[in-house]
């Protein structure tokens, strides 16, 4: 009799949850005639430790909430600048992208990158809101988004996030060994026009007369 075996436990990827804060601020100067406001990434806030992160697949609604910033310097005297918090984005780490995290850690300032789009279905004063789509710590992810002409902003990562990321990179990243440089003597010979030169060790026959005789 075959006894059914319990399913193997699902190994979840290392992950944290963050909140994204976008800032809507007035545009000054001549550009304000065409674009009175602009959206920028204000902050990425850590919700808790990796141990407190919800299981993978537990999706959440990122419904925006108007918030008041802690730093009053980020507001304007006229009260036109507003901040919107989009809650509970999952930032997962993948072993096959360890190099992307390594490059982030070795940059002058390790950071989060946020890929966002203007959502025509969410309007603020008749204009589309900036809605975050994905948050990453991978240098490679950010590069791919920028190559695709997407909107990507960055903000410094908190020290505890940097330490968590460094622990993952130390455990998973293996730098590729440097390839041995080919000695100069093994480079192909070329003439002054860049064409390959044939070299032979055979002795010439017919004496030392001019060629063709």
- The alpha carbon torsion through 82, 137, 15, 164 (nearest 10 deg) reads -110
Q: Each residue of 162-210: pLDDT tens digit? A: 999 999 999 999 887 666 655 555 455 555 666 665 555 555 555 555 5
pLDDT at 160 over 60: yes
Instruction: State the chain's mean pLDDT as an integer.
Output: 81
Domain ranges of the chain: 15-172
Q: What is the mean pLDDT of residues 32-58?
A: 81
DSSP E strands, the chain = 15-26, 37-46, 65-67, 82-92, 111-124, 127-136, 151-156
pTM, entire model: 0.73
Supply the angle between the helices 139-147 and 98-105 in degrees, to the nearest 10. 100
Query: What is the pLDDT confidence band of residue 211, given thresholds at 50, 70 and 90?
Result: low
* pLDDT tens digits along 19-31: 999 999 988 877 7
Residue 8: what pLDDT?
Answer: 42
Kindly tell me if the per-residue pLDDT of 2 is higher than 60: no
Q: Which is more confidently placed, 176 or 147?
A: 147
The pLDDT of residue 176: 74
């Amino acid at each position: 009799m075959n006894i059914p075996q319990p399913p193997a436990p699902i190994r979840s990827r290392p992950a944290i949850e963050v909140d994204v804060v976008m800032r809507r601020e007035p545009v000054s100067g001549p550009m304000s005639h065409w674009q009175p406001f602009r959206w920028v990434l204000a902050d990425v806030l850590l919700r808790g430790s990796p141990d407190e992160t919800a299981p993978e697949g537990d999706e959440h609604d990122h419904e925006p909430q108007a918030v008041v910033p802690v730093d009053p310097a980020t507001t304007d005297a006229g009260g036109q600048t507003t901040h919107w918090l989009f809650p509970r984005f999952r930032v997962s780490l993948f072993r096959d992208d360890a190099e992307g995290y390594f490059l982030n850690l070795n940059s002058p300032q390790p950071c989060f990158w946020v890929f966002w789009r203007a959502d025509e279905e969410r309007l603020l004063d008749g204009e589309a809101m900036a809605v975050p789509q994905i948050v990453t710590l991978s240098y490679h992810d950010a590069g791919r988004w920028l190559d695709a002409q997407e909107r990507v902003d960055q903000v410094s990562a908190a020290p505890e996030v940097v330490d968590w990321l460094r622990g993952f990179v130390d455990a998973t990243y293996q730098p590729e060994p440097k390839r041995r440089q080919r000695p100069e003597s093994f480079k192909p010979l070329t003439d002054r026009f860049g064409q390959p030169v044939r070299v032979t060790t055979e002795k010439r026959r017919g004496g030392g007369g001019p060629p063709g005789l």
